[in-house]
Amino acid sequence: MSTSPFVVLPSSHARAVDTFPASDELCQLLQEQIRGEVRFDPASKALYATDASNYRHVPIGVVIPRDEEDVINTVALCRRFNAPLLTRGAGTSLAGQGCNFAVILDFSKYMNGMDAIDTVNRTVKVQPGIVLDRVRDEAEKFNLTFAPDPATHSRCTIGGMIGNNSCGVHALMGGKTVDNILTLDLLLYDGTRLTVGPTTEAELAAHIGAGGRTGEIYATLKNIRDTYAAKVREKFPNIPRRVSGFNLDELLPENSFNLARALVGSEGTCAIILGATLQLVESPPCRTLIGVGFSDIFIAADHVTQILQYKPIGLEGMDGYLLDALRRKQKSVADLALLPPGDGFLIVEFGGSTQAEANAKARALAAYLKTLSPEPNTRIYTSAEAKRVWHIRESGLGATAFIPGVGTGWEGWEDAAVDPTQLGSYLRQIAALMKEFNYRSAMYGHFGQGCVHMRHNFDLETPAGILKFRQFMDLAADIALAHGGSLSGEHGDGQARGALLPKMFGPELMDAFRSFKRVFDPNNRMNPNKLIDAHEPHEDLRLGADYRPWQPKTHFAFAENNGSFADANLRCVGVGACRKTDAGTMCPSFMATGEELHSTRGRAHLLWELMQGEILPDQWKNKQVKESLDLCLACKACKSECPVSVDMATYKAEFLAHHYEGENRPLSHYAFGRIDIFARIASHAPHLVNAINNAPILRSIVKKLLHIHPNRTFPRFSQPFTPDRRLARDPRRRRDRRIPLPPEAPEVFLWADTFNNYFHPSAMRAAHQVLTTAGFRVTLPTQHLCCGRPLYDFGMLDTAKDYLLKTLGALTAQLQAGTPIVVLEPSCASVFRDELTNLFPHDPRAAKLRDQTFLLSEFLVKHAPNYKPPQIDDKIIVHGHCHHRATMGMHDELALLRLTGAEVELLDSGCCGMAGPFGFEKDKYDLSQKLGERVLLPAVRNKSVNTILVTDGFSCAEQITQNTTAKPMHLAEVLAQRAEP
149-153, 302-306, 450-454: the lowest-pLDDT one = 149-153
- Give the list of residues 6+ apart from residue 506 with CB closer than 8 angstroms, or none: 231, 235
- Give me the percent of the chain exceeding a pLDDT of 90: 90
State how far the Cα of 770 lies from the Cα of 979, in Å rounded to an integer: 8
Concatenate the DSSP letters of all residues of 765-781 into one string.
HHHHHHHHHTT-EEE--
- Give the list of residues 6+ apart from residue 103 with CB closer than 8 angstroms, or none: 26, 59, 60, 61, 62, 63, 74, 78, 83, 84, 85, 86
Residue 981 has pLDDT above 80, yes or no: no
Residue-wise pLDDT for 378-397, tens only, equals 999 999 999 999 988 887 77
Residue-wise pLDDT for 30-64, tens only, equals 999 999 999 999 999 999 999 999 999 999 999 99
Residue 567 has pLDDT above 80, yes or no: yes
- Give the list of residues 6+ apart from residue 210 with CB closer than 8 angstroms, or none: none
The pLDDT score that the predictor gives to residue 15 is 45
Residue 793 has pLDDT above 80, yes or no: yes
- Give the list of residues 6+ apart from residue 353 with CB closer than 8 angstroms, or none: 284, 285, 286
- Give the list of residues 6+ apart from residue 964 with CB closer than 8 angstroms, or none: 937, 940, 941
Q: What separation in angstroms does the CA of 5 have from each of 2, 8, 60, 474, 506?
A: 10, 9, 37, 9, 16
Neighbouring C-beta atoms of residue 371, cutoff 10 Å = 7
Cα angle at 695 between 690 and 701, to 5 degrees? 105
Q: Give residue 978's pLDDT band: very low, low, confident or very high (50, 70, 90).
A: low
Task: Strand 821-823: give its sheet, edge to edge.
Answer: 777-779, 747-750, 821-823, 853-855
Neighbouring C-beta atoms of residue 122, cutoff 10 Å = 16
Decide: helix, strand or coil at residue 487. coil
Cα angle at 777 between 772 and 780, to 5 degrees? 100
The residue type of 236 is: F
Residue 526 has pLDDT above 70, yes or no: yes
Residue-wise pLDDT for 671-703, tens only, equals 999 999 999 999 999 999 999 988 999 999 999
Residue-wise pLDDT for 141-158, tens only, equals 999 999 999 989 999 999
Decide: helix, strand or coil at residue 59. coil
In 402-556, alpha helices (H)? 423-437, 463-482, 501-520
The pLDDT score that the predictor gives to residue 17 is 67
Which residues face 545 on adjacent strands? Answer: none
State how far the Cα of 113 lies from the Cα of 119, in Å rounded to an integer: 18
* Strand-pair category, 272-279 with 181-187: antiparallel
Q: Would you tell me the crossing angle of helices 856-863 and 891-898 to the nearest 10 degrees?
A: 70
The pLDDT score that the predictor gives to residue 731 is 42
State how far the Cα of 53 lies from the Cα of 489, in Å rounded to an integer: 16
Decide: helix, strand or coil at residue 475. helix
State how far the Cα of 801 lies from the Cα of 796, in Å rounded to an integer: 9
Residue-wise pLDDT for 846-902, tens only, equals 999 999 999 999 999 999 999 999 999 999 999 999 999 999 999 999 999 999 999
Decide: helix, strand or coil at residue 215. helix
The pLDDT score that the predictor gives to residue 11 is 44
Decide: helix, strand or coil at residue 310. coil
The pLDDT score that the predictor gives to residue 739 is 55
Strands (DSSP E) found in 99-216:
103-106, 123-126, 144-145, 181-187, 193-196
Residue 1 has pLDDT above 50, yes or no: no
The pLDDT score that the predictor gives to residue 407 is 77
Cα angle at 379 between 377 and 383, to 5 degrees? 160
Residue 415 has pLDDT above 50, yes or no: yes
Q: Shortest CA distance to 413 belongs to which of 465, 460, 480, 466?
A: 480
State how far the Cα of 247 lies from the Cα of 425, in Å rounded to an integer: 27
For residues 88-101, average pLDDT: 95
Judge whether 768 and 752 are in contact, CB under 8 Å: no
The pLDDT score that the predictor gives to residue 723 is 52
DSSP-assigned letter for residue 323: H
3-state secondary structure 599-654: CHHHHHHHHHHHHHCCCCCCHHHCHHHHHHHHCCCCCCHHHHHCCCCCCHHHHHHH
The residue type of 285 is: P
The pLDDT score that the predictor gives to residue 726 is 42
- Give the list of residues 6+ apart from residue 700 with CB closer than 8 angstroms, or none: 710
Q: How far is CA 92 from the centre of its chain?
A: 10
- Give me the percent of the chain exceeding a pLDDT of 70: 96
For residues 409-423, average pLDDT: 96
Cα angle at 596 between 453 and 332, to 5 degrees? 40
DSSP-assigned letter for residue 131: B
Judge whether 531 and 1 are in contact, CB under 8 Å: no
Residue-wise pLDDT for 58-93, tens only, equals 999 999 999 999 999 999 999 999 999 999 999 999
The pLDDT score that the predictor gives to residue 12 is 45
- Give the list of residues 6+ apart from residue 677 with CB closer than 8 angstroms, or none: none
Judge whether 915 and 672 are in contact, CB under 8 Å: no
Neighbouring C-beta atoms of residue 428, cutoff 10 Å = 16
Q: How many alpha carbons fall within 13 Å on the CB side of residue 633?
A: 35
The pLDDT score that the predictor gives to residue 660 is 97
State how far the Cα of 433 lies from the Cα of 493, in Å rounded to an integer: 21
For residues 785-797, average pLDDT: 96
State how far the Cα of 447 lies from the Cα of 318, in Å rounded to an integer: 9
DSSP-assigned letter for residue 596: G
State how far the Cα of 404 lies from the Cα of 138, in Å rounded to an integer: 39
466-475, 477-486, 526-535, 738-747: the lowest-pLDDT one = 738-747
Q: How far is CA 102 from the centre of its chain?
A: 26
Preceding amide of 715 cis, omega within 30: no
Q: Give residue 408's pLDDT band: very low, low, confident or very high (50, 70, 90).
A: confident
The residue type of 233 is: R
State how far the Cα of 146 lies from the Cα of 282, in Å rounded to an integer: 9
State how far the Cα of 410 lies from the Cα of 52, in Å rounded to an integer: 10
Q: Would you tell me the crossing angle of helices 648-659 and 623-630 to the nearest 10 degrees?
A: 140
Residue 730 has pLDDT above 50, yes or no: no
DSSP-assigned letter for residue 699: H
Which residues face 43 on adjacent strands? Answer: none
Q: What is the mean pLDDT of the chain?
A: 93
Phi, psi angle pair for 701, to nearest 5°: -65, -45
Residue 795 has pLDDT above 70, yes or no: yes
Buried b (16+ CB within 10 A) or exposed e, 730-754: beeeeebeeeeeeeeeeebbbbbbb
- What's the start-to-end Cα distance of the chain, in Å? 75
State how far the Cα of 417 lies from the Cα of 422, in Å rounded to an integer: 10
